[in-house]
Structure 1
Amino acid sequence: MLCGVRTKAFQSGRGPLSPGSRAGLGAAVGLLALVSAVEVADGRAANYIALMVAGPFLAAALASWRVVLGVGAAATVLGAAFALGERTVSLSTAVAVAGIALGTAMAAATAAVRERQAEQIAELSKLAAVAQQAVLRPLGPQVGMLSVAARYISSTATAEIGGDLYEAVDTPYGVRMIIGDVRGKGLDAVRLASIVLGSYRHVAYERADLRAVVADLDRAVARSVGDEDFVTAALVEERGGTLTIVNCGHPAPLLLRRGAVIPLEPPAPAPPLGFMPVVRPRVERLEPGDRLLLFTDGLGEARRDGEFFPTADRAWRLLGHGTVGDGLASLEAALVEWVHGRLDDDIALVLMEYRGSRTGLTAAVPSWEVGAAES
């Protein structure tokens, strides 16, 4: 009897069941089968049928309202069958059967509300992903003479949204990249990240000196945030094999060269954007095959059992092989394994590889010298 009701209720009209519906249905059917077995073993008196009302409520925790109605119909039919098996149907037995039907209606309503809320959350997650993609455009695979790959690792499975940002553009002053991290999370952080990136995509083409780019971005942030909000950022310029880095309170990029990993710390610390940073550039001469890892502080803060992920120790083994995209994939896999899939903060990663100067070009003057000459 139970199988017949289940076939009609659950295989009509709506295609395969979702994993949640299958789990809820399995648990509810198991409960009804257990109560039925106890009733059969107890004899003709229907002493336990009231327990069948738990079936639709159990299904409502995971399954759709249609599945809940099917479970409730099966429970009501079973309860009525056991009630009719008594010599004389008592008032308490009739009330129990009616209670199963009423409980089914309540459980189905609860499941409908839960489904509606789940759909709204799923829609918000999709919108969040779209917003994130609109802010963070895909990078690479090549920008100027650099091979470039980027990756955004969300700390939550439900919404890939946060304040980490990155961009790479090929300008008259060389390839320029930025990586940054907005204080906070959610839509406010995404709004500020979009402001920083919008300003950067304009001024990176207009300012010869990276320090002027920093000043413009600082003003854009100051106009858009409160007193306690800020954006850490590192700006990188590659021009004719010369690498110039300015850092505004951000983790230092890592230079990977011939098996060595070199943190490119700034000559002097500077506060984040929004606090009027005065930056001093660090200049390095690149060699063909050099790789540079830019990252946000979520990577430095990733830990398990109080032990932080050893980024510098494992960087060359993870990032020094294959394409830059392969390197970031290896880093992400190792990181997720290290934290057992539980990250406390979002992480943005950008990996670039210098392939060598364009033939026929003389060595370019880095932006900090251009700015000094113009002043």
Structure 2
Amino acid sequence: MLSLVRTKPFQSGHGPLSPGSRAGLGAAVVLLALVSAVELADGRPANYIALMVAAPFLAAALASWRIVLGVGATATALGAGFALGERSVSLSTAIAVTCIALGAGIAAVTAGVRQRQAERIAELSRLAAVAQQAVLRPLGPQVGSLSVAARYISSTATAEIGGDLYEAIDTPYGVRMIIGDVRGKGLDAVRLASIVLGSYRHVAYERADLRAIVTDLDRAVARNVGDEDFVTAALVEERGGTLTIVNCGHPPPLLLRRGAVIPLEPPAPAPPLGFMPVVRPRVERLEPGDRLLLFTDGLGEARREGEFFPTADRAWRLLGHGTVADGLASLETALVEWVHGRLDDDIALVLMEYTGSREGVTAVVPSWEVGAAES
């Protein structure tokens, strides 16, 4: 994937100026105007033209190299004009004009390097977005008898991406969802997330028991990670109004019901995928209107001045009204305001609402009892 990243050639610059170029050009013009005004007020000889060398460097902080070169040429011309206005050009004045010209060249090169780096970062960011979208398919708005919405909140605007994952599938065994978090960041984390999701999208249709899905996913993770790598995950199944959850070292989902927020802790803790988890399902009977929030640990770790975001306290007010997509938008807004726009980790969010059993669906036995019921 990294082979796709190429450094672009400089743009022709014939389009409208970017905000940064406008700001850099404006600051340089103001500086040149001030130095020129001081020189005119001071009279002969030219005492302040050396200050004009700062103009191209000021522009280089924000503007493109072409604009910096233009500013440098203008500064050199102004300096030369003031120097030629003297009765006889002194050595110090000649050196000042020469320094302006050299400074203009150095500033243009500096701006070119900065511009190339900015373009490369922008392309890496675009590549990261494409990679993330390839792993995380859009969810909803309806999956089986559930209204579903998902949201991915990145902790950074650069190309560093995380391995948070989610999926929701309508299978013969009911609607099945997974949310998970790969240890680490970058393309390795995305690669492992894609492996987990690829395996899940296959076995979710094949296995009647969620515990069998966990076993399959654990094997897939173990084959593709090092000794210290793992994936936390929570798997959820809705079958005829019965909710079954198995948890592999992941934050417990939150059930929102009639104003109450209930953490659905597992009956017994289990390690993440990659460490051979032995899970015990938790089973709940859903009521129409119930909502379930699945999230990765970036939400639990979001804090400001040492104080963590009060997810459980605010969950009903933020998520209990409007559509599920509206609820996630409200949660993201409140979260970003809480941390002042600075998140330490990426966050994946999935919010589902149970709208009632579909007609023709009679199976109410959770998947972990299917084998016993059939025998």
TM-score of the two chains, using structure 2 as the length reference: 0.95
Q: C-alpha separation between the residues in 2 aligned to 1:267 and 1:123? A: 46
Structure 1, 285-294 or 93-102: larger mean CA deviation: 93-102
Q: CA deviation at 1:158?
A: 2.5
Asked if the contact 1:5/1:74 (under 8 Å) is kept, the reply is no
| Residues 315-340 of structure 1: CA deviation (Å, up to 9, x unaligned) | 01110111100010111111111111
Q: C-alpha separation between the residues in 2 aligned to 1:13 and 1:182? A: 42
Q: Does the C-alpha gap of structure 1 residues 11 and 126 become closer, same or farther in structure 2, counting only changes over 3 Å?
A: closer
Q: C-alpha separation between the residues in 2 aligned to 1:34 and 1:83? A: 17
Q: C-alpha separation between the residues in 2 aligned to 1:122 and 1:57? A: 23
Q: CA deviation at 1:182?
A: 0.5
Q: C-alpha separation between the residues in 2 aligned to 1:246 and 1:7? A: 46
Q: C-alpha separation between the residues in 1 aligned to 2:184 and 2:7? A: 51
The equivalent of 2:302 in structure 1 is: 302
Q: Does the C-alpha gap of structure 1 residues 289 and 113 become closer, same or farther in structure 2, counting only changes over 3 Å?
A: same
The equivalent of 1:48 in structure 2 is: 48
The equivalent of 1:171 in structure 2 is: 171
Q: CA deviation at 1:52?
A: 0.8
Q: C-alpha separation between the residues in 1 aligned to 2:2 and 2:106? A: 21
Q: Does the C-alpha gap of structure 1 residues 27 and 97 become closer, same or farther in structure 2, counting only changes over 3 Å?
A: same
Q: C-alpha separation between the residues in 1 aligned to 2:5 and 2:265? A: 70
| Residues 18-69 of structure 1: CA deviation (Å, up to 9, x unaligned) | 1111111122112212222222232211112112111111111110011101
- What secondary structure is seen at the aligned counterpart in 2 of 1:163? strand
Structure 1 residue runs of 5 or longer lacking an equivalent are none
Q: CA deviation at 1:373?
A: 4.6
Asked if the contact 1:68/1:108 (under 8 Å) is kept, the reply is yes
Q: C-alpha separation between the residues in 2 aligned to 1:153 and 1:133? A: 13
Q: Does the C-alpha gap of structure 1 residues 338 and 47 become closer, same or farther in structure 2, counting only changes over 3 Å?
A: same
Asked if the contact 1:6/1:70 (under 8 Å) is kept, the reply is no
Asked if the contact 2:139/2:167 (under 8 Å) is kept, the reply is yes
Asked if the contact 2:211/2:279 (under 8 Å) is kept, the reply is yes
| Residues 156-184 of structure 1: CA deviation (Å, up to 9, x unaligned) | 12337211000000111100000000101
Q: C-alpha separation between the residues in 2 aligned to 1:4 and 1:332? A: 32
TM-score of the two chains, using structure 1 as the length reference: 0.95
Asked if the contact 1:6/1:74 (under 8 Å) is kept, the reply is no
Q: CA deviation at 1:91?
A: 2.0
Q: Does the C-alpha gap of structure 1 residues 29 and 4 become closer, same or farther in structure 2, counting only changes over 3 Å?
A: farther
Q: C-alpha separation between the residues in 2 aligned to 1:178 and 1:3? A: 31
State the Cα RMSD in Å.
Answer: 6.1
- What secondary structure is seen at the aligned counterpart in 2 of 1:224? coil
Q: Does the C-alpha gap of structure 1 residues 3 and 154 become closer, same or farther in structure 2, counting only changes over 3 Å?
A: closer
The structure 1 segments of at least 4 consecutive aligned residues displaced by more than 6 Å after TM superposition are 1-13
Asked if the contact 1:53/1:99 (under 8 Å) is kept, the reply is yes
What aligned pairs does 1:1-375 form with structure 2 within 5 A after superposition?
A: 14-159=14-159, 161-373=161-373
Structure 2 residue runs of 5 or longer lacking an equivalent are none
Identity of aligned residues (%): 90
Asked if the contact 2:7/2:120 (under 8 Å) is kept, the reply is no
